[in-house]
């Protein structure tokens, strides 16, 4: 037998197994899509990419996909906030010029359980803040401070201005895609601020550092006191960006 003839059964076997591998993968993909598309899909909603985000549902690998859809669509975003009991009242869009304005505008006065000093912002920013409050801030307060956060302190979201410093670029505040958080009021009466409590090795500093770290999961860009002196007194949290957290 020549070498050529000996190789043929091997090639046939390889082609055969490739065929079946592809068939099985296609069946799995089709079955998966069928499973998520069923009106009464047995998949829990927080595992189903075709279902809307529920703020208080457990976090799964699908949650980020649901969040991306919610921040991209104003009606979905508002429905998700309503479902979570967030106080975000409707305001007409603010149209100023090509650099400044607020799409999906509202007045935010309360999150899932904490309040917030009233602030005008866009729905996407309010939604990311809500997820951070529920999944990061409250658990960290219970774990490290033995209490809950009753109010977030903030110094604004919308501001038609360029980025402070040397650049000529417009700030995310010009479209209310950013929000600046300066501290928290706690249910036991304490009041923490980044300016007074960021440094040190007590539980207050540990709490602030933990919620800063956790904010990177829910926002696209976060700048805090360790970034530069302009942020010594607040977290700048942004709905846009590429994951920079400092």
Task: Pick from 178, 183, 224, 225 the residue near Zn ion by CB under 5 A.
Answer: 178
Residues 195-214 binding Zn ion (CB under 5 A) are none
Is 48 or 172 the residue whose CB approaches Zn ion more closely? 172
Contact window for Zn ion (CB under 5 A) among 9-17, 70-78, 207-215, 235-243: 235-243
CA atoms of 217 and 119, how far apart (whole Å): 22
User: Applying CB under 5 A, does 231 fall inside the site for Zn ion?
Assistant: no
CA atoms of 17 and 4, how far apart (whole Å): 20
Other residues' Cβ atoms within 10 Å of the Cβ of residue 37: 11
- Give the interface size with Zn ion as a residue count (CB under 5 A): 3
Residue 208: exposure state from Cβ atoms within 10 A (0-12, 13-18, ≥19): buried
At 228, is the secondary structure helix, strand, or coil? Answer: coil
At 39, is the secondary structure helix, strand, or coil? Answer: coil
Site string for Zn ion, 134-173 (x = CB under 5 A): ----------------------------------------
Is 86 or 179 the residue whose CB approaches Zn ion more closely? 179
CA atoms of 34 and 38, how far apart (whole Å): 6
Is 135 or 236 the residue whose CB approaches Zn ion more closely? 236
Name the site residues for Zn ion (rule: CB under 5 A). Answer: 178, 180, 236
């Amino acid at each position: 037998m020549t070498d050529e003839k000996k190789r043929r059964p091997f090639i046939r076997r390889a082609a055969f197994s490739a065929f079946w591998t592809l068939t099985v993968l296609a069946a799995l993909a089709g079955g998966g899509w069928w499973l998520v598309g069923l009106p009464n899909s047995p998949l829990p909603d927080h595992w189903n990419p075709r279902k809307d985000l529920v703020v208080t549902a457990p976090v799964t690998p699908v949650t980020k996909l649901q969040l991306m859809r919610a921040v991209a669509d104003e009606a979905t975003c508002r429905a998700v906030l309503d479902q979570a009991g967030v106080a975000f009242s409707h305001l007409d869009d603010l149209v100023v010029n090509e650099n400044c304005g607020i799409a999906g505008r509202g007045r935010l006065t309360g999150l899932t359980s904490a309040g917030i000093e009233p602030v005008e912002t866009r729905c996407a920013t309010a939604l990311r803040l809500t997820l951070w409050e529920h999944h990061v801030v409250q658990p960290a307060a219970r774990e490290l401070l033995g209490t809950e956060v009753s109010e977030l302190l903030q110094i604004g979201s919308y501001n038609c201005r360029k980025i402070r410093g040397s650049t000529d670029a417009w700030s995310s505040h010009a479209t209310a895609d950013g929000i600046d958080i300066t501290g928290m009021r706690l249910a036991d009466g304490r009041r923490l601020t980044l300016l007074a409590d960021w440094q040190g090795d007590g539980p207050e500093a540990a709490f602030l550092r933990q919620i800063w770290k956790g904010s990177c999961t829910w926002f696209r860009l976060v700048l805090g006191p360790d970034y530069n002196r302009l942020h010594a007194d607040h977290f700048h949290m942004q709905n846009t960006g590429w994951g920079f957290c400092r």
